Amino acid sequence: MVNKILFWSFFGVAVRFWQLGIEMRPLLSRPLVYPVYAGIGASVGYWLQGIEDRQMRFLRETRDRLLEKRARRVAREGQPNIGTEYQKEQEGLFASPKLVVETGAHIPGGVMTERTQAAE
């Protein structure tokens, strides 16, 4: 959190330097103004940090609710969720775990093996 506040403090001072550079005025004619700009930048950084914290908390809670919902569905149906056919073949963030039902599409007692890149 401190690094973001410091970044935005320096950004506030840099904006003041940029403003004076555009106006072609001396940079250190009123040096007491720079802490004001640093304070404004720090307050913006603190505000943005609060926004990020709230967004991450919301995403964490949403993820936890989704995982609980999936766990309840697996407990109710008695079979693991291996995803859609498209998800089974994909790699990356939204892909299903690499589990493939060897004996059929949706057999509750079916044999499941793990498929990895090395096994293929």
Instruction: Name the burial class of residue 12, with classes exposed (0-12), middle (13-18) and buried (19+) by CB atoms within 10 angstroms of its CB.
Output: buried
Of 103 and 11, the structure prediction assigns the larger pLDDT to: 11
| pLDDT given for residue 30 in this prediction | 84
| pLDDT given for residue 2 in this prediction | 81
The 10s digit of each residue's pLDDT in 65-101 is 988 888 888 788 776 666 666 665 666 555 445 444 4
| 57: CB partners within 8 A, 6+ apart | none
Spatial CA neighbour of 88 closest among 67, 114, 66: 114
Tokens of 33: 């103004």
| SS3 track for 41-82 | HHHHHHHHHHHHHHHHHHHHHHHHHHHHHHHHHHHHHCCCCC
**C-beta of residue 87 within 8 angstroms of C-beta of residue 98:** no
**DSSP class of 31:** G
| pLDDT given for residue 84 in this prediction | 63
| pLDDT given for residue 101 in this prediction | 42
Spatial CA neighbour of 15 closest among 36, 46, 30: 36
Tokens of 14: 């840099």
The 10s digit of each residue's pLDDT in 6-63 is 888 888 889 888 988 999 888 888 888 888 888 998 898 899 989 999 999 999 899 8
